[in-house]
Amino acid sequence: MSLFRSVLLVSLISLAAAFGLLFVGSLLGYEEFRGGYAVIETDVSVDDRTLRALLEKGENYFGGNPESESSQWVFLDEFDSIQTIPLDKFSGRIFPFDPRNDGYADLLRNVFVREDRRFIYIPLKAGNWNIKLLDRQFNELLEDIPFSVEYYGVGRPLSFFFISYAASSLCLLFVCLILRKKNRQTSGIIALIPVFSSLAFFGAPGIACAALLTAFFVMLKDPLNELIALGKSFSPNFLYKKVIYPFRFHLLCIPVFAAALYVLYFFSQLKLLFLLAVLAAGLTVFVITLKILSLSHMEHRRFTPIMILRRSSPEFIFSVYMMPFSIAAFIVMLFAPHMPASYDTNRQFNTFVYEEDYYAHLNFQTSFSMRQMSTSSLSFYNYFFDIDGLPSAGGVFNAAADLNDYPTFPLLHLMEFFQNVNSGQRTNSGDAGGIFENLSLLVLLIFIIPGMFLKGENFSNADSDSVNRKSARDFFHGKLRLIGINRNKKPVYNTRNPSHSLSEAVRRKDA
């Protein structure tokens, strides 16, 4: 097979795998990788606590517990203490004309119950945004209860992810071209660039996985070449002698890469099955690429070059190949939270309760028993005994309690989210990831640092690969064929007569 046909075939296989993974990722909703809220609407006759109990069964699927009428509370001054009353129980606790009823309960309840309809707000995880899957999940959870659902979400800078991946791919391509003489058969690495592009759906952790997988396949290049060279001579004995034992240190690195990938998966929104699919596709494309390119080295005779002197330890040069994707992952981690993204919704949200309303309610209840019934101001005076022993006015009595002793406004995030939805303005994507997700990217340093300090003999002897090779076909027939003959007929072996060239040695043997 000619070199042109080989490159064309490899490109088609790589692009087919890449488009397939991108299609699957798009079908699963990864292009809509965003957080937000699902708003469930039912009839007011449906018991709120029953709804919450059913929806909380999906807490592992959603981004948090549902916000509903029964999940909220109001404060009530009981004169000897401040009681916390569930919102759905408040109307049965005090009368509307009770002076302690400051109107906050009605304002808060209007967020969850209005026009004979009940509303429940469910936070969604980033990445769990496929509407068909969400609809099916709600149908399974709510069983026979009639409901409708609206989705409010905020987009992520997906274009920034893929632009960063494309830029790092160009850098990797230059690295492969620069090191093509020192590290043979880098064409297989280039073929993996389109395959790993689908990991950009997941932002910084996905690009970090692309870096790890690139390093992984660079390390496995030599063992896979040896395995391919076995061909029809494959047997357990040959497998052990030619692959397992010589490359035992390479194989011992596999659990290290697996552990690093698991750390990225565990602390991010990466999907395990999708990551395994990318790994399987990458392995398939890489092996096929090595096999096809090995058949294109000679025009008339199929030839697979293998090393006579095998490396006993992995090449830490893989650190150089993973550097472009690693840098891109850290850049995305730093800049993605500040990239503009638009809120997505089909309608506006018109019912709000503000943080100021909450703290006004809290301040009223904590100071109610110290107020005059005729006014809402704190008009009682503070008295103290003066030096003459008589009481003197010391100013207005401050009956306000320390608000730090009470919970903060529970609907702050929900209300701010819907205010941004209504504004229609672009906002920060908020895709900063958790602290553990960002720290998980540091596993890349475990593989980059050795390449900076542990060069060893793998780099110094890398140029000898193109000389010290033999035909796998001749080897398995017991015939050692000398290759790599220099056209200038320079001495190759240190013999007693240094003027003997490799070609003369071949002629003497044939004679």
CA count, 13 A, side-chain hemisphere, 405: 7
As a whole number of angstroms, the distance between CA 216 and CA 243 comes to: 17
Q: Which pLDDT does position 433 carry in this prediction? A: 56
As a whole number of angstroms, the distance between CA 345 and CA 89 comes to: 32
Has residue 272 got a pLDDT over 70? yes
Has residue 314 got a pLDDT over 70? no
Q: Which pLDDT does position 440 carry in this prediction? A: 86
pLDDT tens figures, 412-441? 888 888 887 766 554 444 444 567 778 888
Has residue 201 got a pLDDT over 60? yes
Q: Which pLDDT does position 467 carry in this prediction? A: 35
Strand partners, 67: 121
Residues 6 or more apart whose CB falls under 8 angstroms from that of 263 comprise: 440, 443
Has residue 362 got a pLDDT over 50? yes
Quick one: tokens of 336?
């993605």
Has residue 298 got a pLDDT over 50? no
pLDDT tens figures, 18-67? 999 998 887 776 765 566 788 999 999 999 999 999 998 887 778 788 99
* Residue 155, helix vs strand vs coil: coil
Reference 251, options 227, 230, 220, 229; nearest CA is 220
- pTM beyond 0.75: the answer is no
CB 343 within 8 A of CB 152: yes
Residue identified by tokens 């004309």 is 97
Q: What is the CA radius of gyration of the chain?
A: 35
Q: Which pLDDT does position 77 carry in this prediction? A: 84
Vertex 413, ends 412 and 419: CA angle to 5°?
90
**Domain boundaries of the chain, sorted by first residue:** 3-30+159-339+439-461, 35-154+344-430
As a whole number of angstroms, the distance between CA 105 and CA 98 comes to: 13
Has residue 295 got a pLDDT over 80? no
Has residue 457 got a pLDDT over 50? no
DSSP letters spanning 58-98: GTTTSSSPPB-GGG-EEEEE-SSSEEEEEHHHHTTTS-TT-
Question: What does the pLDDT average to over 189-195?
Answer: 92
- 109-148 burial: b if 16+ Cβ within 10 Å, else e: bebbbeeeebbbbbbbbbbbbeeeebeebbeebbeebebe
Quick one: tokens of 327?
């840098």
* Residue 363, helix vs strand vs coil: helix
Reference 137, options 200, 60, 83, 67; nearest CA is 60
Question: What does the pLDDT average to over 338-361?
Answer: 75
Q: What are the two backbone dihedrals, phi and then psi, of residue 36, each rounded to the nearest 5 degrees? A: 145, -155
Quick one: tokens of 254?
């596999």
